[in-house]
């Protein structure tokens, strides 16, 4: 998977979101509510389990960055919503995110990788208080907001 071999920083937001199955953006002004995330049935595994003859020796994980295939987005109970308008692109959220879930494009914050964001809230905490470009919102409210927006 050639995309997996690129560093997160080098990837364009578009290719990441395409690969993890995201769609749409910016439902409400200033808020990125993209949330279509893959929920693999096989407990995060993308392939059936291998036999002992088909595994790398010593337990080595031979594909770099393969953790990206384990989609932990559905562990979340609260979600960060990022506002491009308020954002000053200091990139502190990107520095501190433990899941590398802040997506950059041309050195600016493009959005959140909701397929991997676990909702820890560190990005919202690290965003300078005066800037306040990230807000943590309960997942349940997201569904309600989406329904409101689409009138469904």
Partner 1 sequence: MTKLTEIRWHGRGGQGAKTAALLFGDALLGTGFYMQAFPEYGPERMGAPVKAYNRVSDAPINLHSGIDKPDVVVVLDASLMKRLTDVTEGLPDDGVLLVNSPDPPAKVRQETGLQKYRLYTVDASGISQEIMGSNHPNTPMLGALMRVADFVDYGEVKASIRKKLAKKFHGRDQIVEGNMAAVERAYQEVCGG
Partner 2 sequence: MAAKAPKAAVTKTPKSIKEINSAKTKAMATKPTAPKGKAAASKAIVTKSMATKAPTPAEMVARTGNEVMAEAMRQINPDVVAAYPITPATEIVQIFAGFVADGLVDTEFVTVESEHSAMSACIGASQAGSRVMTATSSQGLALMAEMVYIAAGLRLPIVMAEVNRALSAPLNIHCDHSDTMMVRDAGWIQIFSENAQEAYDNMIQAVRIAENSSVRLPVMVTTDGFIISHGMEGVSLIPDKAVQDFIGPFSPVYPLLDVDNPVTIGPIMFTDYYFESRRQVAEAMKNAHRVIAEVGAEFGRQFGRSYGYLDTYRMEDAEVAVVALGSTAGTARAAVDNMRSAGIKAGSVKVRVYRPFPAKEVFATLGNGRVKAVAVLDRSDALNNHAAPLCMDVTTALYQAGVGAGAGSRPNSSTNAPSGANAHVPPSIALPHILNYIYGLGGRDIKPADIEKVFADLHQVVQGQAASQPPTPPGMPQYENPMYLGVRE
* Shortest reach from residue 57's CB to partner 1, in Å: 24
Q: Which does 51 bind (CB under 5 to 8 A by kind): partner 2, partner 1, none?
A: partner 2
Per CB under 8 A, residues contacting partner 2 are 49-53, 58-59
Q: Would you say 15 or 77 has its CB closer to partner 1?
A: 77
Residue 52's binding partner, choosing from partner 1, partner 2, none, with beta-carbon cut-off 5 to 8 A by kind?
Answer: partner 2
Residue of 27, 47, 13 whose CA lies nearest to 115:
13
Between the alpha carbon of residue 151 and those of residues 49, 98, 144, 147, the distances in Å are 43, 35, 10, 6
28: Cβ contacts below 8 Å, ≥ 6 apart? 145, 149
Which residues ranging from 86 to 115 are in contact with partner 1 (CB under 8 A)?
Answer: none
Contact indicator for 87, 120 with CB cutoff of 8 Å: no
By CB under 8 A, tell whether 43 contacts partner 1.
Answer: yes
């Amino acid at each position: 998977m050639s995309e997996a071999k690129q560093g997160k920083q080098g990837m364009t937001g578009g290719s990441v979101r395409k690969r993890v199955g995201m769609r749409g953006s910016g439902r409400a002004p200033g808020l990125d509510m993209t949330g279509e995330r893959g929920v693999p049935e096989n407990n995060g595994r993308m392939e059936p389990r291998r036999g002992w003859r088909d595994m790398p020796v010593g337990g080595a994980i031979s594909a770099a960055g393969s953790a990206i295939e384990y989609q932990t987005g559905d562990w979340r109970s609260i979600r960060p919503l990022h506002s491009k308008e308020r954002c000053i692109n200091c990139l502190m959220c990107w520095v501190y995110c433990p899941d590398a879930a802040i997506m950059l494009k041309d050195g600016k914050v493009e959005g959140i990788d909701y397929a991997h964001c676990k909702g820890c809230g560190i990005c919202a905490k690290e965003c300078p208080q005066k800037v306040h470009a990230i807000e943590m919102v309960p997942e349940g409210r997201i569904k309600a907001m989406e329904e409101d927006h689409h009138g469904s």
